[in-house]
Amino acid sequence: MLSKVPLFFTGLFLLLFIVSASIVFPLVLSEPEINPFRYSVALKKLEIPPYSPSKENWFGTDRYGKDLFYNLIDGAKYTILFACIITIGRIFVSFILGLFFKRLFKSSWFSDLIQSFQYVPQSLIVLLTLSPFLFYELRNEPMFTTSETLFVQLLVLIAVGVLQLGKIIAETTELLSRTEYVNCSKLMGASYFQITTKHILPHLWPRLIVIAGRQFAHVLTLMLHLAIYQLFIGGVQITSGQEHDQFINYATVSNEWTGLISAYHKELMLEPFIVLVPVTAFALLVLCINMMTKDLEHHVNKRSLFK
91 vs 297, higher pLDDT: 91
Q: Is the pLDDT of residue 286 over 90?
A: yes
Query: 61 forms bridges with which residues in the sheet?
Result: 67
44 vs 9, higher pLDDT: 9
Q: Is residue 134 part of a domain?
A: yes
Q: Rounded to an integer, what distance in angstroms lies between the CA atom of residue 234 and that of residue 181?
A: 48
Q: What pLDDT does 261 receive?
A: 93
133 vs 15, higher pLDDT: 15
Q: Rounded to an integer, what distance in angstroms lies between the CA atom of residue 190 and that of residue 196?
A: 10
Q: Is the pLDDT of residue 3 over 50?
A: no
Average pLDDT over residues 8-21: 90
Q: Rounded to an integer, what distance in angstroms lies between the CA atom of residue 65 and that of residue 51?
A: 7
CATH number, position 243? 1.10.3720.10
Q: Is residue 56 part of a domain?
A: no
Q: Is the pLDDT of residue 262 over 50?
A: yes
Strands in 22-152 per DSSP E: 38-40, 45-47
146 vs 73, higher pLDDT: 73
Altogether, the residues listed in the chain come to a count of 307
Average pLDDT over residues 188-199: 70
Q: What pLDDT does 42 receive?
A: 63
Q: Is residue 62 part of a domain?
A: no
Q: Is residue 61 part of a domain?
A: no
Q: Is residue 41 part of a domain?
A: no
Q: What pLDDT does 192 receive?
A: 66
pLDDT band at 90 (very low <50, low <70, confident <90, very high): very high
Average pLDDT over residues 278-294: 92
Percent of the chain with pLDDT over 70: 86
pLDDT band at 40 (very low <50, low <70, confident <90, very high): low
State phi, psi for 48 to the nearest 5 degrees. Answer: -125, 160
Q: Is residue 290 part of a domain?
A: yes
Host domain of residue 120: 2-31+67-306
Q: What pLDDT does 305 receive?
A: 44
The number of folded domains in the chain is 1
Q: Is residue 58 part of a domain?
A: no
Q: What pLDDT does 233 receive?
A: 87
Q: What pLDDT does 49 receive?
A: 76
Q: Is residue 51 part of a domain?
A: no
Percent of the chain with pLDDT over 90: 27
Q: What pLDDT does 2 receive?
A: 41
What's this model's pTM, rounded to 2 decimal places?
A: 0.85
Q: Is the pLDDT of residue 244 over 60?
A: no
Average pLDDT over residues 95-107: 80
The torsion angle over the Cα atoms of residues 272, 291, 19 and 66, rounded to 10 degrees, is: 0
Average pLDDT over residues 182-187: 70
Q: Rounded to an integer, what distance in angstroms lies between the CA atom of residue 208 and that of residue 172?
A: 10
Q: Is the pLDDT of residue 246 over 70?
A: no
